[in-house]
Every structure is written in structure tokens, then in C-alpha cells.
């Protein structure tokens, strides 16, 4: 009997589901990954959030620097010598990622907005590059399969080779304008601004470009500046020059300037004062943030720091005196050129300085070029050297006294000096040995006795003179004499704040008889500036003062009508005290006074009636021509010189006048151009001083208005022309 109580299974009830082990493992792995991701996001956001934020800003918000106007340059009386003329400018800055095709597109748009003249200096390669960029498919199609597989540079070289003359001839004037703009765009470095147009930019062009900046990535409108020179060619060789954006920083100073934070296409001082005081004149660059799009194009520039204009230089130069001296030099050169034997004569120099402070009042030089035109050669005062002749005899006397070879009042009988096997050497006035006289240092300087100086040098050499006997002396005497001469600044750098200073030529003929030539300034050569430093040392009582072109440095003007406040005042720098007693120096000073006032003074006829007490020493040197006319090299010529100061009792100006190769030794005659120039320079200085006194001008009060704006306007007119 079947058990009817047995419960039958419920077919409707579902079986219990079991999750496979592999699926559990998968869920666990996913859980771990999500946990790691959440943890990483927390670290990124909380721990490293600021770091990544900065990196993002560096990528999308790039800092760009721009040059600011350079400091201006004044003369000692605050007359503007070098200034800045503001000009409207349209610029472009590219990023490292900006493709050439994008730049070409911008160039095409700019060509519709501004007037650009095709660059006459577009090279064939410039045009080839442009053609390839604007005919990309055609250019690539000309490559063989093998050429297409070459690396980028080699393949592009083949593209260039495939551009034909017909391709270039097909380029229109519009194409050449666009190529010109593109060339300027590529001239600068990434993220540095280059000028697309900075001359003759009109207000209309500025407006058009400004309205379309959104479609011109990298383009901006700004104000640029150009350097102008108020006094044209006056001091141009000394003031120096500033590089263009295309020239950038000098190749020989790239590492130095880059270390100072400069960009390769920055404008910097290239020569002389502009280069010497680059760090002062350059100022602090402005800084802007340039926003880049996803392709690296600059779409917006926001100024963060406007920068600061460079500080201003106030030179020690008196530009009005400088101009007058330049005219004096040119006038006398013109007169002298009409004399016989002056075909090699082509230059003359004048240095004027304050003998106590070392401030250079005038650094004038003129040279006649191949076209017969006069040109500024001021830099020749410290970059060229000549035999100075008798002008250095004051140094010879004091050298003998410092050496102990002669006493302060040593006397010698003026007579021809004759050594065995040589011609007699004598003073210019006593060739035959008749009428000789006993001279002390004052008398020897007054009449410019060569014989006295010969005998001083022989004493220094330890030689005992016997007429027509041998001259036995050590070649070390040259070094001894140079040691004493160096104390005056002769044969060593003066220390002037200008690059390129030369020390002159040291005679290399060790024949002991040349010691006598050394003593009268006809052996070693010196620069006109060295001669002026030597004269200043005699004038001020024995102190060799470093010459300086700078009087002070001032902060930029705040309104353009007045000079700024003094930032640095240049103090006198004494390099050394000459190792001679005050009484010995006084004896040489008396000798210099006798030259210009004594009854037999070699310069008395030019200075004794000048109206101011001048003291100085004339010089004439037998020399050999070593100028630009190579076919006349080693021709015997005469150099004429003068060194002096005024007033004699309390000097305020010292001058050196050097006229190289004034006339041929044979076939010419001395016109005394050195003395004429010297007389006229002193007169110009005191005339100018008197004129200013009558006009009531007090240049120590610098609150007086300066004519910057008028000078800038005049310069702008010249630039526009």
C-alpha cells in the first residue's frame, strides 16, 4: 500500500544559485582596482595637487619677457646726447609648437591688414622655402618613393632641389610680401617678440590689426623704441651702437648674456659706451603671460610686470666744448693740408680733462677718409699710439731724480753727444756744439734740450760719457725707464671706462744707444689719452688719476622734462702717487711754465698773451709712417704734440694735442699746427666758461628743464624721412 502521506517535491520552487569562484575573484580584483584609483585620485588632488597645477600653468600660461627702453645719455651739462624715440610696432611671437603652415596663414592675413614692402634681401632659399610651404602637395609629389623614405632633413633638401626657376618666377608681389612677413616671423626665437613692422606704422594699421587679434595668434600691437643721436656725428665713435633684433647678442658673448637672463635676439650695446654700461642702460625687462591653445599658439598676452626703464648716464663730456674742439681740429687740418709734404697727414687728436677728478671734458679726434671727408675718430685717442717726442721730457727728468741718477737741481752742459761709430746726437738748436750752455731741469725743459735728456738717461744707465768713446750700458735700462714712465701713465692702460684701450708699442731694438732716443720720446709710442694722464699728473702735483667718461648715473626721468635723481656719483680714483718729492715735481712744473712764458720757451709766442696762465711742453718726434697707405710704410715723418694745463697755479683743465705724420721729414715744413690747436682749445674752454657765466647758467642745478621732448621730436622726423 502506497504511503499517501509522502510529500511530493514542489516543482515551482527554484533551486539555490551558487556564484562561481572565478566570478568572485573578478569582483575582488575590480574592487581592488577601484580602491587604487580612488586612492591615486586622492593623492593627486590632495597631496600633489599644487604641483600639477603649477605644471599645468607652465604649459598653458607661458612667461614672455620684452625689452624696455634703454636709459638715455647726457653730457655733463644735461644736454641730451642719446635718447629713445617711441615708435608704433606690430610684433609676433611664436611657440615651439607653432607649425610653419600656421605662420604662413597668419602672414597672409597680416598682408591684408598692413602695408609691407617686399624685402629686397629675400634670398633664393627664402623664396624656395615659401614655395614649398604654399605648394606642399605639389612639392611632395615631386619626390621619388626612395626620397620620400629619407629622414626629414634629407627629404626636405630634395624638395628644395626640386623647386625650379619657373616656380620662383611664378611668385607674385603678394607672395613676396607674405614671404617677407614670414621671414620676419621666423627671425626670432620661440616665445620672444620680433617686429614685423616698426617703421612707418599708421594708426589705421594699428586699429585694423587690433580688431583682428583673435584670428592672428601670436600677433600683438605695441610701442617700440629707436636710438637717436642729438648731435649727429659728434662723439659717434665713442657713444657706440646698439644691436638690432636680427643681430641680437654678439656671438662672442652669447654665454655671458644668456647667463644674465638675456634672449638671443635681445638688443644690447655693441660697442664703447653703449656696451661698457649695458647693465646700467638696459633696465629690467617687462614680463607677460602668454596663453597658449591646444596647438601651442599664443592666443592672449597679459602683462604681469611692466619692467623698468634703464638708468641714465651723465657723461663727463662737455658737448659744446667737444663741438668747438672738433671744429678747431678740422679747420687746422684743412689749413695744414695745403702745405707741402702733408700727403700722409690724415688725423689729429685732442684730449681735455680735469686733472684732479679725471673727468674727460673732451675726447676729440678727426680723420680724413679715402673720399677726402672728415669723420669722427674720437676713439683713436685711446686705440692708437704714436711717438710723442719732447712732450715726455718732464717724465725723463723726474725718472732721473726718482732713480737717484741726478739731483733735483742737476745741471748739464748742452753739447752734442757722440759715440764711437755713430753720428753725433744733439739738441735742435745746437747741432754744431757752439753756443752751448749749462742747464738745470727748468732751463732744459724751457728750450727742450735733447742733450740734457741724453745725459740723464746715460746717468740712469750707469754709463760714463767720453766723447767719441763707446757707450756701455745694460739693456735693463729700458725696463727701468719704463718702470718710471709707467707711474705717469705712459706705456700702461690709463683705466678709462671704455673697451679696447691700447698701451702703445714698446721699441724692441735693444741697441743701448736707443736709450737716448727713449729719453726724448722717440722710441716707445703712447696714446693721446696716456699723454693727457701724464700731463694731469704733473698738473695736480704727482697723482695719476684714472680718466673717466662718466660723471654720474641717474634714475630715469619721471616726466621727460627733468633728469631723475642721482643713483651713483662717480668719485675720483687715484691709481698711484708718483715716487718723486713735491719739490722735484714743482721743478718740472716751473719748467713747463717756462716753456710757455720764458724768453726762450718753445711755446711762449702762442701762450704768453692768451689771457690765462698756461703751462706745458711742446714735442716733435722723428717717426716712421705706419698708416693706411701701405705703399708709404716706413716713410720718415714728423709727429708734433703738446701737453699742458691751465691755470698754471691751480689747474682746472689739462690737454694733450697729438698730430701724427704732420709732414714728411724731407719735403715738408713745420706749420706749428700742434701749438695753434692747443692755443685755440684753451681759448675755446675759457670763452665758453665766460659765456656761461654771463648767461647766468648754473649747471649744478639740474632741476632746470631739459629739452628731451624737442630732441626726440626732431629725431623722429629724421627717422620718418
What amino acid positions are annotated as catalytic residues? 390
3-state SS class at 86: strand
Give the integer Cα–Cα distance in Å for 415 and 436: 6
On whether the CB atoms of residues 572 and 358 are closer than 8 A, the answer is yes
User: In angstroms, how far is CA 315 from the centroid of its own chain?
Assistant: 14
Give the integer Cα–Cα distance in Å for 455 and 618: 20
Phi-psi region for residue 288, left (φ > 0), alpha (ψ -120 to 50) or beta? beta
3-state SS class at 417: strand
Show Cβ contacts of residue 507 under 8 Å, excluding neighbours closer than 6 positions.
478, 514, 517, 518, 523, 524
Which three cell numbers mark 195?
A: 617686429
Residue that has been written with the C-alpha cell 662718466 in this structure: 550
φ/ψ of 632, rounded to 5, equals: -110, 15
Residue that has been written with the C-alpha cell 607672395 in this structure: 175
Show Cβ contacts of residue 573 under 8 Å, excluding neighbours closer than 6 positions.
358, 495, 545, 546, 548
**In 572-667, where do the E strands start and end?**
574-577, 615-624, 636-646, 653-664
Which three cell numbers mark 194?
A: 620680433
Q: What count of residues does the chain have?
A: 721
Q: Could you report how far apart the first and last alpha carbons of the chain are, in Å?
A: 134
Residue that has been written with the C-alpha cell 720718415 in this structure: 636
For residue 480, say if its preceding peptide bond is cis, omega within 30 degrees of 0.
no
Which three cell numbers mark 309?
A: 626703464
Which three cell numbers mark 325?
A: 674742439
Which three cell numbers mark 411?
A: 745741471
The CA-atom distances, in angstroms, between 342 and each of 78, 388, 391, 668, 671 are 40, 18, 22, 7, 11
143 CB neighbour count, 10 Å cutoff: 16
Which three cell numbers mark 4?
A: 499517501
Quote the longest CA-to-CA distance of the chain: 183
Show Cβ contacts of residue 329 under 8 Å, excluding neighbours closer than 6 positions.
348, 349, 350, 364, 365, 366, 677
At 349, which helix (H) or strand (E)? strand 347-353
On whether the CB atoms of residues 544 and 533 are closer than 8 A, the answer is yes
Residue that has been written with the C-alpha cell 767720453 in this structure: 466
User: In angstroms, how far is CA 572 from the centroid of its own chain?
Assistant: 22
The residue among 647, 575, 597, 566 whose CA lies nearest residue 445 is 597
Phi-psi region for residue 248, left (φ > 0), alpha (ψ -120 to 50) or beta? left
Give the integer Cα–Cα distance in Å for 152 and 146: 13
Give the integer Cα–Cα distance in Å for 229 and 75: 12
Show Cβ contacts of residue 526 under 8 Å, excluding neighbours closer than 6 positions.
385, 386, 388, 392, 490, 491, 504, 534
Half-sphere exposure of 184 (CA within 13 A, CB side): 26
On whether the CB atoms of residues 402 and 431 are closer than 8 A, the answer is no
3-state SS class at 568: strand
Amino acid at each position: 500500500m502506497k504511503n499517501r502521506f509522502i510529500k511530493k517535491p514542489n516543482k515551482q520552487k527554484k533551486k539555490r544559485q551558487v556564484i562561481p569562484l572565478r566570478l568572485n575573484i573578478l569582483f575582488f580584483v575590480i574592487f581592488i582596482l577601484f580602491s587604487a584609483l580612488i586612492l591615486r585620485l586622492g593623492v593627486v588632488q590632495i597631496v600633489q595637487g599644487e604641483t600639477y597645477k603649477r605644471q599645468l600653468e607652465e604649459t598653458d600660461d607661458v612667461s614672455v619677457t620684452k625689452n624696455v627702453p634703454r636709459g638715455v645719455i647726457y653730457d655733463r651739462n644735461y644736454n641730451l646726447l642719446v635718447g629713445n624715440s617711441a615708435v608704433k610696432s606690430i610684433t609676433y611671437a611664436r611657440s615651439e609648437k607653432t607649425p610653419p603652415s600656421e605662420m604662413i596663414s597668419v602672414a597672409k592675413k597680416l598682408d591684408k591688414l598692413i602695408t609691407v614692402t617686399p624685402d629686397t634681401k629675400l634670398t633664393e632659399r627664402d623664396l624656395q622655402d615659401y614655395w614649398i610651404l604654399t605648394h606642399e602637395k605639389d612639392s611632395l609629389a615631386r619626390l621619388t618613393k626612395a626620397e620620400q623614405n629619407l629622414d626629414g632633413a634629407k627629404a626636405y633638401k630634395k624638395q628644395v632641389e626640386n623647386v625650379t626657376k619657373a616656380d620662383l618666377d611664378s611668385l607674385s608681389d603678394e607672395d613676396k610680401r607674405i614671404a617677407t612677413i614670414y621671414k620676419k616671423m621666423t627671425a626670432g626665437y620661440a616665445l620672444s617678440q620680433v617686429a614685423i613692422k616698426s617703421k612707418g606704422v599708421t594708426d589705421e594699421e594699428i586699429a585694423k590689426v587690433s580688431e583682428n587679434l583673435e584670428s592672428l595668434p601670436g600677433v600683438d600691437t605695441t610701442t617700440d623704441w629707436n636710438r637717436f643721436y642729438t648731435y649727429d656725428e659728434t662723439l659717434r665713435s665713442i657713444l657706440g651702437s646698439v644691436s638690432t633684433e636680427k643681430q641680437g647678442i654678439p656671438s662672442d658673448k652669447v654665454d655671458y648674456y644668456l647667463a644674465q637672463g638675456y634672449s638671443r635676439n635681445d638688443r644690447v650695446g655693441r660697442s664703447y659706451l653703449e656696451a661698457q654700461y649695458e647693465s646700467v642702460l638696459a633696465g629690467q625687462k617687462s614680463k607677460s603671460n602668454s596663453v597658449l591653445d591646444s596647438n601651442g599658439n599664443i592666443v592672449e598676452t597679459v602683462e604681469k610686470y611692466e619692467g623698468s626703464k634703464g638708468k641714465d648716464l651723465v657723461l663727463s663730456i662737455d658737448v659744446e666744448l667737444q663741438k668747438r674742439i672738433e671744429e678747431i681740429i678740422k679747420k687746422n687740418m684743412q689749413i695744414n693740408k695745403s702745405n707741402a709734404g702733408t700727403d700722409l697727414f690724415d688725423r689729429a687728436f685732442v684730449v681735455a680733462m680735469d686733472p684732479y677728478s679725471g673727468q674727460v671734458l673732451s675726447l676729440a679726434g678727426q680723420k680724413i677718409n679715402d673720399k677726402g671727408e672728415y669723420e669722427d675718430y674720437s676713439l683713436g685717442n685711446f686705440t692708437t699710439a704714436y711717438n710723442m717726442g719732447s712732450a715726455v721730457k718732464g717724465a725723463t727728468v723726474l725718472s732721473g731724480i726718482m732713480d737717484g741718477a741726478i739731483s733735483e737741481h742737476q745741471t748739464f752742459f748742452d753739447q752734442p753727444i757722440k759715440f764711437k761709430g755713430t753720428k753725433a746726437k744733439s739738441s735742435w738748436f745746437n747741432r754744431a756744439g757752439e753756443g752751448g750752455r749749462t742747464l738745470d731741469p727748468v732751463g732744459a725743459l724751457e728750450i727742450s734740450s735733447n742733450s740734457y735728456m741724453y745725459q740723464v738717461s746715460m746717468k740712469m744707465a750707469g754709463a760714463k760719457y767720453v766723447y767719441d768713446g763707446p757707450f756701455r750700458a745694460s739693456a735693463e735700462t729700458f725696463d727701468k725707464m719704463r718702470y718710471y714712465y709707467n707711474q705717469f701713465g705712459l706705456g700702461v692702460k690709463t683705466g678709462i671706462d671704455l673697451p679696447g684701450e691700447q698701451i702703445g708699442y714698446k721699441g724692441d731694438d735693444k741697441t743701448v744707444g736707443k736709450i737716448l732716443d727713449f729719453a726724448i720720446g722717440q722710441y716707445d709710442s703712447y696714446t693721446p689719452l696716456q699723454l693727457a694722464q701724464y700731463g694731469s699728473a704733473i698738473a695736480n702735483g704727482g697723482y695719476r688719476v684714472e680718466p673717466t667718461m662718466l660723471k654720474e648715473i641717474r634714475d630715469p626721468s619721471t616726466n621727460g622734462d627733468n633728469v631723475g635723481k642721482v643713483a651713483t656719483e662717480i668719485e675720483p680714483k687715484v691709481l698711484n702717487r708718483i715716487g718723486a718729492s713735491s719739490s722735484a715735481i714743482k721743478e718740472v712744473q716751473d719748467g713747463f711754465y717756462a716753456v710757455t712764458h720764458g724768453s726762450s720757451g718753445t711755446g711762449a709766442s702762442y701762450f704768453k698773451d692768451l689771457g690765462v696762465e698756461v703751462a706745458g711742453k711742446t714735442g716733435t718726434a722723428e717717426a716712421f709712417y705706419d698708416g693706411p697707405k701701405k705703399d708709404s710704410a716706413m716713410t720718415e715723418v714728423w709727429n708734433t704734440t703738446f701737453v699742458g694745463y691751465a691755470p698754471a697755479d691751480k689747474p682746472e683743465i689739462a690737454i694733450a694735442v697729438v698730430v701724427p705724420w704732420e709732414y714728411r721729414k724731407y719735403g715738408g715744413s713745420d706749420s706749428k699746427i700742434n701749438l695753434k690747436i692747443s692755443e685755440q682749445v684753451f681759448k675755446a674752454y675759457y670763452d665758453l666758461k665766460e659765456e656761461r657765466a654771463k648767461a647766468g647758467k648754473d649747471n649744478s642745478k639740474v632741476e632746470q628743464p631739459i629739452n628731451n621732448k624737442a630732441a626726440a621730436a626732431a629725431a623722429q622726423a629724421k627717422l620718418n624721412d
